[in-house]
Structure 1
Amino acid sequence: MSRKNTHTLVRLLAASPAIFGMFSAYANEVQKVEVKGQAAAYDARRDDTATKIVVNQEEILRHGDTTLGEVLKRLPGITVGGVQGRGGDVRMRGLGSGYTQILLNGEPAPPGFSLDQVSPEMVERIEIMRAATAEYSTQAIAGGINIVLKRQVQNAQRELKTGVQVENGAYGAVSTFQLSDKSGKMSYAMSGNLLYGRQDRPSTVVTEGHDAAGREVLRRVAEDGNRGRLLAIGLSPRINWNLGAGEVITSQNFINIARSRGDAPETVTTVLGAPPRYVATATDAENKMEMLRSDLSWTKRLEQGAKIDAKFGLNYAHRDSGLGQQQYDANEVLALDRDIASDFSDKGWSTTGKYARPIGDGHAIALGWDGAYSLHDETRLQRETSTVGAPIANRDESFDATVRRVALFAQDEWSVTKQWSVYFGLRWEGIRIRSEGNSYAAIDNKSSVFSPLFQTLYKIPGSKNDQIRGGITRTYKAPNVASLVPRRGIASNNSPTTPDTMGNPNLKPELAWGLDLAYEHYLQGGGLLSASTYIRHIDDITHSRVFLVDGLWVAMPVNDGAANTRGIELEAKLPLRQMFPGWPALDLRANLTRSWSSLSMVPGPNNRLDQQTPLSGTFGFDYRFDGLPATFGGSLSFQNGGPVRIAQNQYAYTGVKRGLDLYGTWKFTPRAQLRMSLANTLRQDNVSASSYVSADGSRLTDTTFTPTFLQLRAMLETKF
């Protein structure tokens, strides 16, 4: 991005309080209507037959996080991959990327969507679904997370949050706002955020080679840099029209625009053995991204308690990227100059609908559909030059892909007795992916899954606080476009641990049967003790295997046998003052997850699912000072890693990750407070490794050491 554009958005951040002030001035002329009423006694987690954990907005905003990924890492049974404190793929049940279904307003997240694009202020609630239901996609082997953007407008609201943050000397600024009101039968709301951030995140990669006798024959040390900056704008406008007689039309939108630029220098020092072809690399990258999601929904209440819901949505995503790379040989001569320009777009539509009504004694029947279509276009132009005769690869690639998804479902929630309820669901879902490109033959990949689903809730007689849950589900994980398209991704220094990448058009979906059991004990004052267990049997497991093709190493996803995974989860919530009047105003919460898995086609030991987290836990507390308008709290998280045998000759290792986040708030007035946050206070290095063992017994290992840094945030929160 140009310096001019950077300065423009920084000025917008600085001016946001003044802009918001104009909204506030207007708000003073509007009569504010405050709706007061008795809080509903209904508790979704406690009373719904289908298991669900609902996280409200107060919990979402507690730590002053700037992205939703930071919020999710503290929730029960959820871990985040990648380097601690920097976001990553979201996982449930310890299972790696792709096994957890991410939903946005009840629908599969559109292409190009990232949780880091969502400001926590835009979210009304988060629903964690440990077992699949027919209404939502059953691409949820580990479970599902539904991000519900703000919809309901209870009263007029004007809120502004403006703050700064710093990490390793790199500063950033963030500003978020909320604007909502009612006028007759119409209500409207606007949520938005402006973000400017810089980063400086170095890492070190140590490459070691050993021969069949275990003697070290190769050692290289690569010092990698990662510096950059990001500018992003997010908006979530919505309008509700109450047409009367139980009929409502809602327009819900999500817009995100981002610009980023960075450089990643690398220098390789060879201590033992032969140096690589390129001993230094300078990389500069620039990305421009726009995303739009727009939904129009209609709700109509009918006689005898019946209800119709229908929604039609449009989505659009576009990314324009440029990369320049210069690679130098051992004589410090520019050996290869590479320029890559790529353009990606994805546009499509989706539709969902449901008819629900009570029938007979205690039955709640629902029938519905879920469909989507998307068109993916991508072009990639690569040009390389060399003055020393290094191998070059000039590429001019383009491809398109269409994804069609359709599903039909039926479900019945039956209250058999006052203590016992059951849920039955049936869902058929089919996906067809077609793709054509100028560098590969046409692809036509079709799959469909029929999913019977059962869940039950039993409230133990004689006790108002104890209940048991159970569930049996059929779920799956379908291959995505990127894993199917056989386009070659080129590695800078090709090796078994840094191979080229390529998709596999013959991939089949992974199919799973699951069993879930849970015991819940509810305490007075909102406390909770819970223990649950789960089992999953997965057929046609997909993992990445490395092959030697025409003298170059290539990683490709393949279906390879079955996997079994199981685990236990423990959770506790103890609001001490609400449970025991007169005690300190201290809320305690904790969760612990232990997971195991094994692969049928990979010999042990450690033949578990790649990226699975075997042990994770979180302990958190919140303390409200008596006599002071202040709150203090924190969250300590832990993720164990360890060695993994991915395939016959592929191994990986992930180190232990620990994180301690602290926050404090001071309320100056009922409408203004300061929130201070310290994230990643332990500053623990992140360690990961990848190994390949050849047929002759020699081993090559890459170990990455990534230092992490304290993140400090200060946020002024005001309401008008």
Structure 2
Amino acid sequence: MKTPFRLTLLAAAIAASCAVHAQQAPKPLAKEDKIQQVEVKGAADAYDPRRDDTASKIVVNHDEIVKYGDTSVLDVLKRVPGVTVSGTGGGRGGEIRMRGLGAGYTQVLLNGERAPAGFSIDSLAPDVIERIEVLRAASAEFSTQSIAGTINIVLKKTIKTAQRELKAGYGHGHDVANPSLNLQLSDRIGKLSYSLSANLSRSHFWREPATVERHLDTADRLDGLRLGHQSDAARFTAFNLGPRLNWSFDNGDTLTSQTFFNINRFQNASEGRLATRLGPLPAYPALDQTMSNDNRFFREELNWVHKFAGGGKLDAKLSGLYGALANATYRTGSGNPASPALHEVIFSAGTDRGISSMGKYTSASWEGHALAFGWDGGYSTRDDARRDRDYFRPDVALPGGDEVYNAHVARLAVYTQDEWNVTPRWSVYLGARWEGIQTRTEGNTFATAHSRSTVWSPLMQTLYKLPDTKGDQVRLAVTRTYKAPGLQSLIPHRFTSVNNSQTEPDFIGNPNLQPELALGIDASYEHYWAEGALLSASVSSRRIDGYTRNQVLFDGTRWVSMPSNAGQARTHGLELEAKFPLKALIDTKEALDLRASLSRNWSTVDSVPGPNNRLDAQTPFSATLGADYKRGPLTVGGSYVFKNGGQVRVSANQISYQSVRRDLDLYALWKFDPKLQLRVATSNLLAQDYISESSYVLAGNGTQSTRTITPLYRSVRATLEMKF
């Protein structure tokens, strides 16, 4: 039980010894020696962050991101080794996961910062992204709210040459139609460079999920059966705009303005019918719903970089954001004489405002060290309003229907880190980060609630390149990370379900939630034997204290789900990866690149009885296979993604289930000339249905279960890409 404390002391002692060594280091090199040192590092193209950075990192470049012509970043991420995306597929509504864990365990950043709650990552177009960084172990520079890892999505920044490119695409399938348009412009005017990225996409899709609700009595005899059918017709429109200006000054300073503007609108019309074959009727066997969601997100970022004469550098950033969300939901329910007819209109709106400042000072005063100090702070507010009205009398408020609440979040983090090249083969990264978050929520239906948390995170990573080998190296990382409660989990506001039951409960937040704290260790072995050829194996382990789970309880009138801290959890993982060109194995001139990855995850929650008491519906096994072949103007390739499912015991009484997921995607790219090319891609060629189930056991009453089957279909997409 003392292991976390001992490891924390060990990391702190290593950091202290590093600081002492830095103080006793020799005087800085002469100016001419520094210039010579920079020159011997070679061209920038020879630098590989995956191989050379002390901190473990996978970088997905822009060419890989746009390879399949995807319209959502979620479809891109599902092919990245060690990353899975939950949900039904199709790039909408899924959750990004590392080590099979979502629900806040995986940190997703936009340009190094968290996006507000109202921003939808799946509305982000791949064409506006410069690169995606996948960090398996935490670093002090980014927030340590990354128990599973961090995915940093970096918007387009680099302006190398003048560029004018237009892409027009159209995707079609049995259940989807998706046109899109993308424009990229960039150029230089003296010391001013600029770029503009604009993307417009629209998706129409149709879904017809079917449900089966069963109730078994205490003797496991069927005494309740309902068969449901739902018809969904939806439309999703997204617009991304990203202008960027960069000024270079005579003294070497740079000032960058990067703006990101996102608008998306989601509309859905749903008709649901529940046919009762056995047992009592639900409250509303016929439930129709029309919903519209409008989301606007604006972010402005100013980045100043100043280089000092002694070799130090200050990188400071000030950013502001504004987000607005508006929803309108129309519900009509009928079919049960015992329930009054439901004619309901719900209007809700939310506004996010925030300002933040990030900065890092890097010192070059000590040979072999990259010592840095930094900060990350901000203040944000969120205002929400909800009005519940009768459909036929929109001016008349229903009892308890109007709610107004707001939240204020202040956060501050300070950190220090040092990357120390101990020897030409051995480098050590040491860091420490302190983060504090304070939240205040108040509303007209609950008392003002306060939440405050602070976390201290010592971090250590090391890279050792084995002697007498060309490209073998090992990595080790020991980290302290955490998961802060989401804002909605803290607000004691109730979100109600229409047909309330054990498997469809209401939800209410808990202002007394505390962060989950994790102590982690990661180790890996990497073998590079040719250009572009890699074999790697990594293992990881996390011990999580203060694990949060949603408990479903009956409050006397309705079923309610509430998050609470409940004990300890452990998770372990194994990841294998291989990628190489065929010419690295045999003597050939064929341009064939192969890649494969495998992830196996285990976890247990001590407050939940087994079996299958895994964390957050953790994906136990996932794998990817891919290949790319190029001959002349033609490039073809494919990707197969496998994701295991199975049962998860959420609590002593509740079990959830997800089916196995298999995705097969293919693409072909034909270059007519340097300025014109056509990309054709197919997705979900296996057309596998998505199945999920939730069941709840109530002592003395029996078991209630709901199983949902969502049919999915193949689709094809063509994109014409023109440079002018």
Count of paired positions:
679
In 1, the alpha carbon distance for the partners of 2:619 and 2:193 equals 44
User: What's the CA shift for 1:260?
Assistant: 2.5
**Partner residue of 1:304?**
310
Superimposed CA distance per residue, residues 45-82 of structure 1 (whole angstroms, 9 cap, x where no aligned partner): 11111111111111111111111111001001000011
Specify which of 447, 452, 455 is matched with residue 449 of structure 1.
455
Sort the Cα spacing of 1:518 and 1:697 in 2 relative to 1 into closer, same or farther, 3 A: farther
In 2: Cα distance, 1:515 partner to 1:646 partner: 26
Give 1:362 shift: 1.0
- Report % sequence identity: 48
Aligned mate of 1:706, from 702, 706, 710? 710
Provide the C-alpha distance between the structure 2 equivalents of 1:335 and 1:153, rounded to a whole number of angstroms.
Answer: 60
Matching residue's letter, 1:693: V
Q: Where does residue 694 of structure 1 map in the other structure?
A: 698
User: For 2:160, which of 149, 154, 162 is the aligned residue?
Assistant: 154
- Separation in structure 2 between the aligned mates of residue 149 and residue 267 of structure 1, nearest angstrom: 44
1:433, 1:225 → 2: CA distance?
A: 40
Partners of 1:539 and 1:563 within 8 A in 2: yes
Shift of 1:687: 0.8
Alignment partner, residue 552 of structure 1: 558
> How does 1:557-572 map onto structure 2 within 5 Å?
557-572=563-578
Q: Distance in 1 between matches of 2:44 and 2:381?
A: 45
Instruction: Identify the match of residue 639 of structure 1 among 640, 643, 648.
Output: 643
Q: How high is the TM-score relative to the length of structure 2?
A: 0.92
How much does 1:597 deviate? Answer: 0.3
1:206 counterpart = 2:212: yes
AA in 2 matched with 1:673: Q
Deviations 1:221-257 (A, max 9, x none): 1111221112221101100000123200000111011
1:515-554 matches, cutoff 5 A: 515-554=521-560
In the other structure, the counterpart of 1:716 is: 720
Give the aligned residue type for 1:192: A
Counterparts of 1:121 and 1:415, CA distance in 2? 37
Distance 2:506 2:258 in 1: 41
1:651 aligns to 2:655 (yes or no)? yes
Amino acid at match of 1:702: T
Letter of the 2:54 counterpart? T
Distance in 1 (CA, whole Å) between partners of 2:338 and 2:264 is: 36
The answer to whether 1:182 aligns with 2:188 is yes
Contact 2:582–2:588 under 8 Å retained in 1: no
> Mapping of 1:351-390 within 5 angstroms?
351-384=357-390
Q: State the Cα deviation string for residues 324-360 of structure 1 (Å, max 9, x = none).
A: 0000124699811010000110011110011001232
Does the aligned pair in 1 maintain the 2:111–2:153 contact within 8 Å? yes
| Matched-pair contact (CA < 8 Å) for 1:108–1:137 | no
Q: Does structure 2 conserve the Cα–Cα contact (< 8 Å) formed by 1:526 and 1:579?
A: no
Alpha-carbon contact 2:116-2:352 (below 8 Å) kept: no
Q: Compute the displacement of 1:179 (Å).
A: 0.1
Report the Cα offset of residue 618 of structure 1: 0.6
Q: How is 1:676-691 mapped onto 2 (pairs within 5 angstroms)?
A: 676-691=680-695
1:287 is displaced (CA, Å) by: 1.7
Residue 288 of structure 1 corresponds to 294
CA contact (8 A) 2:470 2:529 kept: no
* Greater displacement, 346-355 / 570-579: 570-579
Report if aligned partners of 1:160, 1:717 keep a CA contact under 8 Å in 2: yes
How big is the shift at 1:259? 2.2
Which ranges in structure 2 are unaligned for 5 or more consecutive residues?
A: 1-41
Q: Distance in 2 between matches of 1:155 and 1:693?
A: 63
TM-score (norm. length: structure 1): 0.92
SS of the residue 1:573 aligns to: strand
- The answer as to whether partners of 2:343 and 2:392 remain within 8 angstroms in 1 is yes
Query: Partner residue of 1:315?
Result: 321
Deviation at 1:608, TM superposition (A): 1.1
CA contact under 8 A between 1:523 and 1:579: conserved in structure 2? Answer: no
AA matched with 2:601: S
CA contact (8 A) 1:135 1:368 kept: yes
Distance 1:84 1:355 in 2: 42
Q: Secondary structure of the equivalent of 1:70? A: helix
Out of 113, 117, 127, which is 1:121 matched to? 127
Mapped partners of 1:496, 1:662: distance in 2: 42
Residue of structure 2 equivalent to 1:47: 52
Which stretch shifts more, 667-676 or 310-319?
A: 667-676
SS of 2:611's equivalent? coil
Structure 2 residue 74 is the aligned partner of structure 1 residue 65: no
Q: 1:427 — aligned with what?
A: 433
Contact 1:674–1:715 (Cα < 8 Å) also in 2: yes
C-alpha distance in structure 2 between counterparts of 1:581 and 1:126, whole Å: 33
- The amino acid that maps onto 1:124 is E
After TM superposition, the structure 1 = structure 2 runs for residues 553-632 of structure 1, keeping only pairs within 5 Å, are: 553-577=559-583, 580-625=586-631, 628-632=632-636
Distance 2:304 2:647 in 1: 51
Question: Does the 8 Å contact 1:385/1:392 carry over to 2?
Answer: no
In 1, Cα distance between the equivalents of 2:339 and 2:606?
49
Give, in angstroms, the shift of residue 317 of structure 1.
Answer: 0.4
Give the Cα–Cα distance (whole angstroms) in 1 for the partners of residues 483 and 55 of structure 2: 21
State the Cα distance separating 1:526 from its structure 2 match.
1.0
Task: Give yes or no for contact 2:103–2:616 (8 Å, CA) kept in 1.
Answer: no
Q: Distance in 2 between matches of 1:81 and 1:169?
A: 19
* Map of 1:82 onto structure 2: 87
Cα distance in 1, alignment partners of residues 230 and 192 from structure 2: 54
Aligned mates of 1:169, 1:348 — CA distance in 2: 39
- Is the alpha carbon distance of 1:574 and 1:71 closer, same or farther for their aligned partners in structure 2, counting shifts above 3 Å? same
Amino acid at match of 2:327: S
Check conservation: 1:299, 1:309, Cα contact below 8 A: yes
Q: Are residues 168 and 332 of structure 1, via their aligned partners in 2, closer, same or farther at CA, if it must alter by over 3 Å?
A: farther
Tell me, yes or no, if structure 1 residue 95 matches structure 2 residue 101: yes
Cα distance between partner residues in 2 of 1:361 and 1:189: 37
Supply the distance in 2 between the matched residues of 1:384 and 1:699 (Cα, whole angstroms): 35
**Measured at CA, do residues 64 and 332 of structure 1 come closer, stay the same or move farther in structure 2, by a change above 3 Å?**
farther
Query: What is the alpha-carbon distance in structure 2 between the residues aligned to residue 160 and residue 334 of structure 1?
Result: 55
- Change in Cα spacing, 1:270 to 1:489, as seen in structure 2 (3 Å) is same
- C-alpha separation between the residues in 1 aligned to 2:319 and 2:44? 33
**Contact map agreement 1:527 1:579 (CA 8 A) in 2:** no
Deviations 1:620-671 (A, max 9, x none): 111112xx41111110001111111111111111110111011111111111
Give the secondary structure class of the aligned counterpart of 1:227: strand
CA distance in 1: counterparts of 2:157 and 2:191, whole angstroms: 15
Task: Please state how far the C-alpha of 1:110 moved relative to its aligned partner.
Answer: 3.0
**Equivalent residues of 1:69, 1:90 under 8 A apart:** yes
Q: CA RMSD in A?
A: 1.7
Classify the secondary structure of the residue corresponding to 1:71: helix
What is the distance in 2 between the residues matched to 1:657 and 1:393? 44
- 5+ long unaligned stretches in structure 1: 1-36
State the shift of 1:386 in Å: 9.8
List per-residue Cα deviations over 1:562-599 (Å, max 9, x = no partner): 00000100001011136655242111111100000001
